[in-house]
A and B are shown apart, each in its own frame.
Chain A
Amino acid sequence: MSEDQTLRCQALTRSGNQCRNRPANGASYCRLHVPAGRTNSSSNGAAEHAPSSSSESLSRLDMLLAALEEEIRAQPAPDDRPAAMGDLIALIRNTLDRWTPELLRNTLDFLRQNINSDYLDPDFWRGLAMILRYQLDANTDLVKRRLRGTYELDPFGLDYELLELVKPFMRFMYYRYWRVEMTGVEHVPESGRALLVANHSGVLPWDGAMIATGIMELHPSARLVRNLHLTWFSQLPFIAPLLSRFGQVQALPDNAERLLNNDELVCVFPEGLKGVGKLYQDRYKLARFGRGGFVKIALRTGAPMIPVAVVGAEEIHPMLANAEPIAKILGFPFFPLTPTWPWLGPLGFIPLPSKWYIQIGEPIPTAQYGPEGAEDPLLVSQLTNRVRDTIQDMLLKKLEERSGVFLGE
């Protein structure tokens, strides 16, 4: 027990209990209570510390808030009050990046003063109103900015602001809807160019979105994946600009090379249309891998190829048949008939909640062949087959392991 004591922060909380946070490295106090002179009785502790850069101050405030939340939740709760406060602070933490540092500091100080104060205290409600008003302002600011066009696009049309907006939805699809399990993220390099090569399935390109979400969530440097999408999508209204704003680029050799030369992380689906337009009976059988165009690009840019196997995406829109005459009339490359589409109308767009596994394999280096390797047809076809076989093996192994389509193991 005494050993446990030394691992705790030495400070007392406002309620008089021992602080339960772990102390910072080598110190006797946790991050919240350091330094000793500025325990929670000091109202402007954070303000005095204001570090120079805003990102630094943000991360510091984030830590402070985390500690504060923990502290509140740790308090003995005679009623549900501290828990409610904890939720409030959790809310603040989640929206942290949209706050100005001064406002954060003020809010933080206010909260720290009022942890033990009563709900009847008008200051508490004033503070709450301030937080809500700030939220509202931040959101109207966003709308104003969108209407005035004063936002930035990267050279490939990526709009970070929009990406931030859809992230919560993507996280929901990733963690809750398809309960994706991603393995092998460590094979994705920290920085620098790399070409992910994945199997394509599921009629709509959700697989690319989930690979991107997974790497954004799990990779230590939260890398952005640039999926290369079919030319067909660039013809579609609404979808074309959306894909572009989310950093997806049309699958053209020129585009892929440019991205890789910019040291981006690019994801390619060599099966292309044959992959997404696969019938349910052919699921997990890799279609033809194009003519090895992706290998040539990897060779030309010296980017390692990383095989990726996606299991579960085949079942989101089980394509029972392809109504070719309708596709021809509409000018679509294929017209899927699934259990829900087109019978249920727009509801047919809702994918089935299968359980997904995304495996990222070991990188296949290409730098040793040099750019001239791209001109060697034998090498290109060898590498193409190697990548294809690797992905097919990974798929089959995972398929054997999994017990059910929807519930997983």
Chain B
Amino acid sequence: MAEQTVLVTGAAGRWGSRLVRHLSKRHGYRLIGLDLRDPQQQFEGVRFVRADLTNPQLVELLRTERVDTVVHLVFASGLEPGSPRLSSEEAFQINVMGTHEVLAACYASNVRQVVLKSSTIVYGAQVDNPLYLREQAPLRARRSAMPNLRDRLEIESAVDAFRQRHRRPAIAILRFPGILGPTIRSSLARYLAQPAPPTLLGFDPLYQIIHEDDVVAALAHVVEHGGDGPYNIAADGVLALSQLIRRCGRQPLPVAHPLASWLQRLLPGGRQQVIRELLPFDADYLRYPWIVDTRRMREELQFEPRYTADETIQAFASALRLRPFADIIERRRQAARQFQKHEGPDDDDTIAIAGEQNGDQSLPKPLPFQQEEQS
């Protein structure tokens, strides 16, 4: 079998780096990672390219490298702690215009398959949602319901419009529910990590989740076998929201829902951030179901998540219990790394990172790409 050339954008980010690691262990792939940042870890046989997405040379790269599959994982969520705060216009530029650029470049070159990651949040939590939304259900999320939701909806409609006009490349867009796992800090994970996650008094919708490893496995599965159109990807089984919270050893804090939506909608911008930290979901998502049908995943993609919802929350809960210790270890490790960098030999890698950290003016200011955090 001929080698498949796969380009992963956002390769230094959370999902990009995981996918690259996953694919680098398999045979039959020639991997190119694309990101503005340097990857934290190098993998054997993986070429990293530091470039901007809007770079017109992207087409050149795709053509000369004869890229077959593009996995576009760049998404600036602005939610990751410690990341520079982007204006919504900047984020739109990266997320939506970036996707447009990538699709256009793929169309102009010989790319056969594009893989995108999306979220089931785009369906919107509505009172008259059927249990188990199918892929063809209208995307009824309110654009302002959550940060970045507008960008997600724009990406979805861009892909939809593109697929209607062009037969090639095939675009698979994977919609994931809340992502949990031992290491990922998605918005659902942050919500559940609070001492008493707020819920809406008298409401307890069903939730679906997916394990972080299954997210990577699903992306890799589509890279390997191909896919066209939207796919809902979720672990087997549903859990009530209160059950999710209780499994993590927390107790839900019920808030009367008029108060919650009032807090979420009426507080001025700056304060809203505080509420967002507490309640990352729009109140509707704590009230109405937005669970999805995964028949297409099983029958057309023939992908089966490895972890059930039960096992996923189990894995997350045990990691959550160990998190205070894990944080200490991580801090120690970082301190050690820092120490080594100052003491160690001045290799190129060190200079590049140091330059970026000091805001070196000679380098073109990279756009602060971040991997998506939102579930």
Report A's interface with B, CB cutoff 8 A: 146-151, 153, 155-157, 231, 234-241, 244-245, 249-250, 252-255, 258
Contacts and interface: CB of A to CB of B under 8 A. Distances in A.
Given A157-B240, A241-B204, A255 B130 contact: yes
A54 B196 CA distance: 39
A240 B240 contact: no
A148 B206 CA distance: 17
A238 B257 CA distance: 12
Interface in B240-256: 240, 242-247, 249, 251
A333 to B, nearest CB: 13
18 contacts: A146-B246, A147-B246, A148-B247, A153-B237, A153-B238, A155-B237, A157-B238, A234-B288, A235-B127, A239-B202, A240-B203, A241-B202, A241-B205, A245-B240, A250-B130, A252-B128, A252-B130, A255-B131
A358 B203 CA distance: 32
Contacts of B240: 149, 153, 157, 241, 245
Nearest to B248: A149
Contact of B245 (A149, A153, A252, A253): A149
The 3 A-B pairs of least Cβ separation, nearest first, read A237-B202, A149-B246, A254-B130
A158 to B, nearest CB: 10
Nearest to A251: B128
Contacts of A148: 246-247, 249
Given A155-B237, A253-B130, 14 more contacts: A149-B247, A153-B239, A153-B243, A237-B201, A237-B202, A237-B203, A237-B257, A241-B202, A241-B205, A244-B204, A244-B206, A254-B131, A254-B134, A258-B132
B354 to A, nearest CB: 47
A326 B337 CA distance: 67
Interface of B: 127-128, 130-132, 134, 200-206, 237-240, 242-247, 249, 251, 257, 288
Contacts of A240: 202-203
Contacts of A150: 247
A157 B206 contact: yes
A250 B133 CA distance: 14
A34 B220 CA distance: 63
Contacts of A238: 202
Nearest to A257: B130
B259 to A, nearest CB: 12
Contacts of B206: 153, 157, 244
A251 to B, nearest CB: 10
Contacts of A157: 131, 206, 238, 240
Nearest to A235: B127
A5 B71 CA distance: 84
Nearest to A150: B247
A146 B252 CA distance: 12
Contacts of B246: 146-149
B166 to A, nearest CB: 31
A150 B245 CA distance: 11
B131 A149 contact: no
A83 B238 CA distance: 48
A258 B203 CA distance: 23
Contacts of B204: 241, 244
Contacts of A234: 127-128, 288
Nearest to A159: B240
Nearest to B309: A153
A231 B131 contact: no
A238 B204 CA distance: 8
B200 A237 contact: yes
A235 B284 CA distance: 11
Contacts of A252: 128, 130
B192 to A, nearest CB: 11
A255 B133 CA distance: 10
A258 B247 contact: no
A250 B240 CA distance: 16
A222 B134 CA distance: 32
B188 to A, nearest CB: 15
Contacts of A153: 206, 237-240, 243
Nearest to B202: A237
Contacts of A156: 131
Nearest to B247: A149
A149 B238 contact: no
B287 to A, nearest CB: 8
A156 B206 CA distance: 8
Given A155-B238, A231-B127, A252-B128, A149 B244 contact: yes
B292 to A, nearest CB: 12
A157 B239 CA distance: 8
A235 B239 CA distance: 20
Contacts of B134: 254
A258 B204 CA distance: 22
A362 to B, nearest CB: 31
A231 B289 CA distance: 12
A157 B288 CA distance: 13
A149 B243 contact: yes
Contact of B131 (A237, A241, A258): A258
Nearest to B240: A153
B246 to A, nearest CB: 3
A249 B131 contact: yes
Contacts of A151: 243
Nearest to B252: A149
A255 B291 CA distance: 12
A252 B247 CA distance: 31
B256 to A, nearest CB: 8
A258 B131 CA distance: 9
A240 B205 CA distance: 9
A357 B288 CA distance: 35
Contacts of A241: 202-205, 240
B106 to A, nearest CB: 34
A227 to B, nearest CB: 14
A105 B224 CA distance: 57
